[in-house]
Structure 1
């Protein structure tokens, strides 16, 4: 720490607020420059870098009324409840940000990835103003005291932490590809009935000969492959709900049993539930009629909002915001996961409620599911189950990497440990 410099955050970066984004310009998916809003930080693919945006602007519009924030700048929410989440993202191209956000661009003698890591260690809640609606000011941000190591050490820290972040990002991209492959296969076989349609049109086989031979030659009068049946999802899986043990009873809480709420699924980057934020005791579990659902159960948030979806990789109890599907019959959890995704519009159409939309178990159970032959279901599982298993394995690795990063981050950024300390331990 002897060579570290004590200074303030404002001395090593430039803060810049975003611009008002008129409604008449919103919703355009074409343009030269992306517009980053607070909600864009939640988009798939934007966990570290802002690579996707829901709004774009033309160069003409930007030149007329907006300022661009440079690649490498770190953006964050500057007002409202989103501020309390302390999320940071890195821009990868010149970008417009809306007026609920702010950017910080580091000085030329500061390593950009070290700077990003520094910002992730700072709790902006501690300096926000406003009680009802928290907000940040450039003045308050600029006064935050920090310690800055020499540039070579900044780069060493950034390289170490960046390697962990980059591997997590690589796993996320791989999982997105695996997810897309699984969805595409499900749609081709069980929604579009691609192999049967290809046979009817005399097209060449595009699956292995043994699997190709399993598919019927024609569609029936109902438009599905011959001899396939229509069932109800409630007949093919055990559909259960959950509840919340009384929070006034301390004996129900802080145990060892996982208890999920839709919030546990809200920030998942893959459909894999590895842990829950709260735990209950055996006494708390006794208050939940559905009990502890087994590993492999498919969880669908049934309200506020409908549509969060994951496969439980731990035994888990659920609260009243879920429809739980225990796959204890002929459909695998991989099939049920993909069926649920493919039928989300139908699920949403069965929701009701005045305060918020909710899909009840009674409305969910009758939803139709088309059942292929046992050999086709088995062939599908033989392809898709390994894809899901790889997704789950990547998520476990990313969780371990994130825990390692979060353990090292404050110690490295404060100078408590150095890169040489880590190398000596290794």
Structure 2
């Protein structure tokens, strides 16, 4: 049981809680970084993982900064909490983003350092305990937002300062691991992008050639081919919704939404199922495992490979590969040249790529064995990213569980060593 004296309101631990404002567009303006005097912080700069998203920056002129800085200047070690839009997210002000002002969707919380350790306060505001309070208070508003009084009334677990420092140190270690993994994911994606550039494009004298099974680089020109030469291409269809027996069968029926929802190269399941009768009595087709499903309406160029027999609606052109085509190679090739698909689309209401235009797209294609080697390299690159993304998800989940324990007093830390009691 946490002693009542260790549960305190933010107003008991801070010297100031204030909102920002936006400079008038008359006479004051947002400018680019080279002319700006100060960064202008809003909800767009704050995420629920407590990291300042400074890739999205706004700058204000020196005149606007002077107008606001009387009470709206962010100071180092202050904590910013979003009170409009993405309410409840927060981060601590660091030297790297100063000088900075805040807009009306941000509350600046200035901690009394003799009572609360600033990094601990940052974590405490993001704790499940406080976020539950955020939800309760926000639900009383027609438009989700928080008043300064509501922010000041938030209660946090406030152990002695040495324990606060130890908790903040423990959680910052998890933050560093998360940040490192995120950088590894970015690097992995950049490396894959570079691989695709090297393996799929360029003149034959510049293109990177992989080694064949004998250990020698592949040789020979890549042959220019139309997509229609790579396999059988068909469109999809939609069974009549007036016939219940056509639906809720055991055949996955793919729509563009199913494709855009997933991250994997292979699609396993769909939101809706159709019956064999539904396929037989519509323009939909039963497609074999290994078919490349390519969106050619609205979200043009999104695609996935069927992991088993499936069907699609009419928003697709589907490639069943022939014996000379490695479908994973075609997947990566069309992903890299997605702009080429979009450029051939037309339509006044929404863009659509016709079957004839799709079949007529042409690309330089290597022999089957080289296709296999290229797709294997790119599949490995994808798998590395998938593993890193799973590690990231695990780290975030473990940190969330740790915050639940440490920031509510359910689990106490020993100040004299690294152990958790």
Band the TM-score falls in, shorter-chain normalisation: 0.5 to 0.7
TM-score normalised by the chain length of structure 2: 0.65
Cα distance in 2 for partners of 1:47, 1:19 equals 25
Whether contact under 8 Å (1:113, 1:158) holds in the other structure is: yes
Query: Which residue of structure 1 lines up, in the alignment, with residue 205 of structure 2?
Result: 196
1:69 to 66, 74, 90: 74
Query: Which residue of structure 2 lines up, in the alignment, with residue 128 of structure 1?
Result: 138
* TM superposition shift of 1:100: 5.2
* TM superposition shift of 1:394: 0.8
Cα distance in 1 for partners of 2:120, 2:266 equals 29
- Residues paired across the two proteins, number: 382
* TM superposition shift of 1:126: 2.0
Task: Name which of structure 1's ranges 153-162 and 50-59 shifts more when overlaid on structure 2.
Answer: 50-59
The CA deviation string for residues 279-311 of structure 1, in whole angstroms up to 9 with x for no partner, is 97xxx64579799998998897976xx489797
Aligned-pair Cα RMSD in Å: 5.4
Query: Which residue of structure 1 lines up, in the alignment, with residue 62 of structure 2?
Result: 60
Query: Which residue of structure 2 lines up, in the alignment, with residue 154 of structure 1?
Result: 164
- Gaps of at least 5 residues in structure 1 are 199-205, 217-224, 246-251
Query: Which residue of structure 2 lines up, in the alignment, with residue 343 of structure 1?
Result: 338
- Cα separation, partners in 2 of 1:178 and 1:309, compared to 1, 3 Å: farther
TM-score normalised by the chain length of structure 1: 0.65
Whether contact under 8 Å (2:40, 2:103) holds in the other structure is: no
Residues 66-145 of structure 1 correspond to what in structure 2 (within 5 A)? 66-67=68-69, 68-70=73-75, 73-80=78-85, 82-83=86-87, 86-92=88-94, 93-94=96-97, 96=100, 99=103, 101-107=105-111, 108=113, 109-120=115-126, 121=128, 122-123=131-132, 124-128=134-138, 131-145=141-155
* TM superposition shift of 1:150: 1.4
Corresponding position: 1:407 with 2:401: yes
Q: If you compute each CA radius of gyration, which structure gives the higher value, 1 or 2?
A: 2
* TM superposition shift of 1:182: 1.2
* TM superposition shift of 1:406: 2.1
Corresponding position: 1:231 with 2:227: yes
Residues 260-339 of structure 1 correspond to what in structure 2 (within 5 A)? 271=263, 285-286=273-274, 306=299, 330-331=325-326, 333=328, 336=331, 339=334
- Gaps of at least 5 residues in structure 2 are 242-247
Corresponding position: 1:396 with 2:405: no
SS in 2 for 1:214: coil
Cα distance in 1 for partners of 2:24, 2:293 equals 39
* TM superposition shift of 1:144: 1.6
SS in 1 for 2:19: strand
